[in-house]
Every structure is written in C-alpha cells, then in structure tokens.
A and B are shown apart, each in its own frame.
Chain A
Amino acid sequence: MAPSHTLSTIVDNRQRRVHRHRLVVALLLLLLAGVFCLTLSLGQSFTPPGDVLRVLLGEDVAGASFTVGQLRLPRALLSVLAGLSFGLGGVAFQIMLRNPLASPDIIGISSGASAAAVFAIVVLSLSGPIVSIVAVVAGLGVALLVYGLSFTNGVAGTRLILVGIGVSAMLESVIAYLLSQAPAWSLQEAMRWLTGSVNGAQLSQSLPLILGLVVFGALLLSRGRDLEALRLGDDTAAGLGVRVARTRVIVIVAAVGLIASATAVTGPIAFVAFLSGPIAARLIGSNGSLPIPSALIGATLVLVGDYAGQFLLPGRYPVGVITGALGAPYLIFLIVRVNRAGGSL
C-alpha cells in the first residue's frame, strides 16, 4: 500500500467517526425535542400543537394557557434543565475516575446537596435561590470530604467510591431525620428530597438551573479535551501534557456545581447522573467525547421518566421513582460485572 493511500484511509476513518458522533448528537437532540413537544401537548387532555405554539408565543388561549403555560411548560423545562445538569455532572465524574460507579448520586454528592437543602428549608426556613447556593456549597464540601478521606498517595477510584457510599448513607439518614422533624411537610414535598420530583414546578425555578448550566457547564466543556485524555489513565494523561491535579479540581467544582444546583431545585432525581454516561458510552462507542450526548440523554430520561410517572402508569409517581426503578437493576448488573472484569467507562 502506498503511504498516501494509508493516510487517506486514516483521514476517512477519522472523519467517519466525527460524522457518527454528530449524527448521534443530532438524533438525541431530535428525540429530546420530540419528547418535549409531546409532553407539552399531551397530558390528561390533548392540546393541539397549534395552540401550544400560540401559548409559547405569549398569546392567551382559552383552555390551553393554564394547562400548557402554567403546568406543562414549567414541568418540562425544569425536567430538561435538571436532566442536562445531572447527565453532564455524572459523566464528568465517571470519566475522571474511570468508573461508572463514581457517579455523584452514588458517592454522596447528591445526598449532600439534598441534606443541605432540606436543612436550609426545614431548620433555617430559607427559600428561593439561597437554598441552591447552600446546596452547591454543601455538595462541594461533601466532594472535598470524600476526596480527602480517600486520599493516600493520590486518589484511587475504588477507595473514593467506597468512602462515598458510606458518606452517602450517613447523609441519607440526616435527610430522613430532618424530614421526621418537619411534621407540617406534605408527603409530596418529602418525596422530593428522597427521590426527586418536578411536581409543582414553576418557571422561576429554572433560573438557578440555567445559571448553573451556563457557568459550570461551560467550565466543564472547556476542559473536555483534558477530560477525554484522562480516560487513558492519570499517568498517560500527564505524559500527554494534561495537568491532572488541576484538571481534577476544575472538573470536580464544575460537576458538583451542576449536580448540586439541580438537586436543590428538583431533589436528587435517582440514578439519572449514574445512567446517562454509560448509555451515552454505548451509543457513541469509540466515536468521540461523551459529555454532550450524556447531557442530552439525562434530559430525555427525566422528561420521559416524569411523563411515565404521571400518565403511563396506574397511579402517579414522582420522576425519581421511575428513574430509580430503571437505575437499580443496572447498578446491580454493574457491580457484578465490575467485580468480575474491572470495567471502565
């Protein structure tokens, strides 16, 4: 084979990988947009897409303005934003520690943020954006605690995961205790902090989420290349010129910021952060980076989970119950498989 021919195969194959990646991202976007439109127009009653569009454009449509504008839109928007945050934050941790079990909802960061949010609401009687700030700070605190406790000659992924599971269990009991001390709380509100839900969503709640996504999401994506290099192992990445320790700190801050700001609004929607990355890895294969596909999958999971919980099952369930039911079997599968083979993302 002539050298030019082999070079052109290399180029072709690389371009094919790039196109595949773009195709998957485009299809995921399309799917998300489709589900989004569906949840806006079809609930307990059907609203014609034309009416939905007119409501979105700010017109007053009899019979549709309330259902679509006040009920369905805030709910769908919040689902998408929270899902994007969970998907992005989760996959960042999984890539960085090269272990699908390293998801923030398993290593205690979500429970840290929820515990802080519950404490702020129940004990300190706070509400609004300040709760989000408290949750983000607490999430970071828990991340640092878990990181610090598992630090001996650098951080090993498995040690961090085990420490995180322990810390997470402690924080769950804190949440349970706080909720038991708040008798005035409705069951629905309590459910939010246990499994996560978008019940009673309001449009104004999406602001802190958008802010979180813009700030922390951009920070995370700006380290995308270094994060990708970390998939080859810390030493190899360092050999390629990645400043491993600094990249880790930036990724942790960004991912915790995303997870915690979403958790403060919707509660810890179970297993979305945990599931999105591996699903994205399955779809993308070797064709490129995972963060953006994973974010889109997270958003779709929350949106579909919430829709299923409301309309597709007998009785109504918060979204966290649905995603939890999806995630738990996968967790068991993963633990069995990782124990056997030592998997990576």
Chain B
Amino acid sequence: MTRHSLTASQLAAGYDGLDIFSGLDLAVPPGAITVIVGANACGKSTLLRAMSRLLTPRQGHVLLDGKSIHRTPSKELARTLGLLPQSPVAPEGITVADLVGRGRHPHQGMFSRWTRQDDEAVAAALTATKTMELAERPVDELSGGQRQRVWIAMALAQQTQILLLDEPTTFLDISHQIEVLDLLTDLNRTRETTIVMVLHDLNLAARYADHLVAMAGGRLHISGRPEEVLTEQTVREVFGLESSIITDPTSGRPIMLPIGRHRMAPGETEASP
C-alpha cells in the first residue's frame, strides 16, 4: 500500500484577519499516530482545519505527496484524506448503516449507482469498529461511545490512508475514551492508516502517540517522541503549569502529574500564591 506524505510548510491560518498560528512546519510521519496537544485556543483545531482544507491558510502550504491540497480536486482529496470534525451532525432518525454509507460519498459519481464495493466498505467499517450489531439502530438512540465508534466507521468507509480527528474523545467517559483510542490504534496497526488527532488529555496523548506535537503561543513549540516532548519543562512552557513526570509502569510512557497550590503531602511546603 502506498504511503502518503502530509506536510505543512510555513503555515499561517486564523480567523477575522488574525493569525492563530504562523510559520508552522510539520511533517506528519506516514503510518504513525500523531497527536497534537496544547492549551485552549492555542490553535490545535485551527491547525487540523487548515490541514484538511476546511480553512484556507493565509500563508504557506499544506502538501499531500508534494502537491498543495488546495489545488487538489475535492473528491480526489477526500479519497486520501479523511476528516472527523469535533461535532458532526446526525440527521434525525438516520440508522447506523445509512450514516456509515455516507462515507462512500467521494467514491460515487453524481448519478452513479451503489456498487458491491460500497457495500463491502460499509460492512468492513462496521466490523472493524464493532458496530455491526448496531447497523439498523437509529444513531440518536446510541450511547456517546457507540456514537463515536459509528462516526469513526463512517470515516473508515471513506477508505482513506490518512485520517484526521478533532478531539475524538470529548464528552466520553474514561472507558469509552480508551475504547476509541484503542480502536484508532488497531486501525493504525492493521491498515497502516496515518492518524493525526487533537487530544485534550496529555497523558492519553503521550500514551497513544507515536509522534507528539505541542503547540503554544501561535507556534509549534516542540515535537517528537512522547518521552522527548512530555517533560516538566514542556508542561511549564506550554501550559504554564508546574508538574512532575513519572513513567507509566504499564506502557512505559511518561505521565504528567500536575502540582497545584494545595493538597501537598506532609513534609512538602505549600507553594505561595
């Protein structure tokens, strides 16, 4: 399977004539999981939007295999680059199978008929996300975790080599967050899908990322392996928070423990405000 390269060079984007970030260079490692983290309003989602063509950059380029995504025909792009936005809308009463089938849109012509390939892609997506038994249920009736799996199934039916996700774990409780992240990791391992996602939780980001990107102050602050990126210094610079970093005995990945002003163990002095 060919691996596609996705890079941003000297990218600047924002709203209302103001740049949220600028001068950003990022090479997404093909076949790996890249996670973008940063404080609120640092431009994580804006970066994802610019990289998926939802937002036209004010400067610089996003290149897919060396070609600007803003010059690629939109359907052609949608066959290589998939996107799951933060708050997708399910039409009232739509069933799971129907919704997942919508992912076939870029593979279908204006009047072309549904093909065997389309059905197979839907079935494969439902199987991969373990939502086959939900196929005929209305999406409105599902739990948050199930619904998120269904949306991921829709993105899978699109059969893209690269998948961008904007906070796929928001509003989910912890077990469902893990379930979704495990599922994405499965896809990455079995299909070699390149995954780029924005996550809020630093520890989950460090746990699941192959490549961790931290943004701060309208710049890409640091990127690399989670062990290199998630340090006490980075947390201080990116979030303005004192912390201690320990190693997760299960995964061997770094874990960030925040240090606040209160609840110090005896012997420690409480920090002054």
Q: Which of A264-307 contact B (CB under 8 A)?
A: 281, 285-286
Cα distance A219–B270 when bound, in Å? 69
Q: Please, which residues of chain B bring their CB within 8 A of the CB of A6? A: 123, 126-127, 132
B249 to A: closest C-beta gap in Å: 38
Q: Please, which residues of chain A bring their CB within 8 A of the CB of B79? A: 241
Q: Are A7 and B108 in contact (CB under 8 A)?
A: no
A236 touches which of B88, B97, B101, B136 (Cβ 8 Å) = B88
Cα distance A279–B155 when bound, in Å? 30
Q: Are B84 and A239 in contact (CB under 8 A)?
A: yes
**Which size bracket describes the interface of B in this complex?**
35 or more
Given contacts A14-B101, A238-B53, A242-B74, contact A286 B89 (CB under 8 A): no
**Which size bracket describes the interface of A in this complex?**
20 to 34
B92 touches which of A17, A222, A239, A343 (Cβ 8 Å) = A343
Give A198-227 as 1s and 0s: 1 = Cβ < 8 Å from B's Cβ atoms. Answer: 000000000000000000000000100100
Check: B217 CB closer than 8 A to any chain A CB: no
Cα distance A314–B253 when bound, in Å? 80
Stretch at the interface among B114-122, B175-183, B186-194, B233-241: B114-122
Check: A344 CB closer than 8 A to any chain B CB: yes
Q: Are A233 and B88 in contact (CB under 8 A)?
A: yes
Given contacts A6-B127, A239-B78, contact A14 B97 (CB under 8 A): yes
Cα distance A11–B98 when bound, in Å? 11
Q: Which of A223-259 contact B (CB under 8 A)?
A: 225, 228-229, 231-233, 235-236, 238-243
Cα distance A17–B99 when bound, in Å? 13
Cα distance A149–B74 when bound, in Å? 28
Q: Are A225 and B87 in contact (CB under 8 A)?
A: no
Give B82-100 as 1s and 0s: 1 = Cβ < 8 Å from A's Cβ atoms. Answer: 1111111111111101110
Cα distance A14–B108 when bound, in Å? 16
A residues near B (Cβ < 8 Å) are: 1, 3, 6-7, 9-11, 13-14, 17, 98, 153, 222, 225, 228-229, 231-233, 235-236, 238-243, 281, 285-286, 343-345
Cα distance A242–B83 when bound, in Å? 12
Q: Please, which residues of chain B bring their CB within 8 A of the CB of A228? A: 102
B100 to A: closest C-beta gap in Å: 9
Q: Please, which residues of chain A bring their CB within 8 A of the CB of B101? A: 14
B77 to A: closest C-beta gap in Å: 7
Q: Please, which residues of chain B bring their CB within 8 A of the CB of A286? A: 91, 93-95, 98, 138
* CB-defined A-B contacts under 8 Å, sample of 17: A6-B123, A6-B127, A6-B132, A10-B97, A13-B95, A13-B135, A14-B98, A17-B95, A153-B16, A232-B88, A233-B85, A233-B88, A236-B89, A238-B54, A239-B83, A239-B84, A241-B105
